[in-house]
Amino acid sequence: MVSIFPSYLAPLREALLGRAISRGLLELTVHDLRAWTHDVHQAVDDSPYGGGPGMVMRPQVWGDALDDVLAGPPARLVVPTPAGRPFTQALAREFSAEERLVFACGRYEGIDQRVLDDAARRVTVDEVSIGDYVLVGGEVAVLAIVEAVVRLLPGVLGNPRSAAEDSFSDGLLEGPAYTRPEVWRGLAVPDVLRSGNHALIDRWRRDRSLERTHRRRPDLLEALPADALDRADRAL
């Protein structure tokens, strides 16, 4: 990944991701964009053509950086921007199947569009947004994207079912989860979860999942394929 704030990406070496790196499940290199500047001021931005507020990141610096970083094994270029298409679990799965991803973190009002148009002549370029809000730069979005992708790599999660049964893997939100003790501050764990009846437990979980999705994300229910809900689901 390429950024003018490489230290922003240091958390990628912590916890689950850090462990995956030290176990050799993935490699990660963070490049400082300023290494590709040529002037004493190491300027990476300039005012926008057509006027308006903010600054645009200059094409020469990014062009040289991407020439170097994209050389070598085939890669897909990911550019986080609030103007991108939504980053989803489906896209995380797609990215997790790639041999190599290169992330270009923009700041200010973005990167000169020609940098991405030029890169698209050689590699697949995805401009992606992690949500309908504006961050200061792409770094935090990269942290989110990389975390979502890396946990899908084989061997990263202790139990592969964790990824298979996540929220979104069946197009629905996950329902509530409980652990010991049975009663805490007067609140009891639902009886069914202690019944040992796995058919009943599955049905109960499915119902809570449908209920929660209906309340919080009705758009997800609308988007389900016609055969995604069975008769028992529709009865809810």
**Shortest reach from residue 41's CB to ligand ADE, in Å:** 24
Q: Quote helix, strand, coil % in the chain, to nearest 5.
A: 40, 15, 45
Residue from the set 102, 116, 138, 213 that interacts with ligand ADE by CB under 6 A:
138
- Using CB atoms within 10 Å of the CB of residue 188, give its burial: 0 to 12 exposed, 13 to 18 middle, 19+ buried: exposed
CA distance 98 to 80: 17
Q: Which is nearer to ligand ADE, 137 or 171 (CB)?
A: 137
User: Is 114 in the active site?
Assistant: no
Residue from the set 37, 81, 209, 213 that interacts with ligand ADE by CB under 6 A:
81
> How many Å separate Cα 92 from the centre of its chain?
6
Tell me which long-range contacts 217-220 makes (C-beta under 8 A, separation of at least 24): 217/173, 220/171, 220/172, 220/173
Q: Which range touches ligand ADE (CB under 6 A), out of 94-102, 133-141, 150-158, 178-186?
A: 133-141
Residue from the set 69, 80, 148, 156 that interacts with ligand ADE by CB under 6 A:
80
User: Is 166 in the active site?
Assistant: yes
Query: In this structure, what token pair is assigned to residue 76?
Result: 């897909």
User: Is 151 in the active site?
Assistant: yes
The per-residue b/e assignment along 30-52, b for 16 or more CB within 10 angstroms, e otherwise, is bbebeebbeeeeeebbeeeeeee
Query: In this structure, what token pair is assigned to residue 1?
Result: 């990944």
Site for ligand ADE in 35-74 (CB under 6 A): none
**Shortest reach from residue 141's CB to ligand ADE, in Å:** 4
Residue from the set 18, 74, 86, 131 that interacts with ligand ADE by CB under 6 A:
131
Q: Is 199 in the site for ligand ADE (CB under 6 A)?
A: no
Overall residue count recorded for the chain in this entry: 236
Residue from the set 40, 71, 97, 134 that interacts with ligand ADE by CB under 6 A:
134
Site for ligand ADE in 139-158 (CB under 6 A): 141
Q: Which of 151, 203, 212, 217 is catalytic?
A: 151
Residue from the set 130, 143, 146, 163 that interacts with ligand ADE by CB under 6 A:
130
Query: In this structure, what token pair is assigned to residue 41?
Result: 């001021």
Whether the CA torsion 9, 15, 17, 21 is positive or negative: it is: positive
> So which residues are the catalytic ones?
82, 109, 151, 166
Q: What is the contact surface with ligand ADE in residues (CB under 6 A)?
A: 80-82, 129-131, 133-135, 138, 141
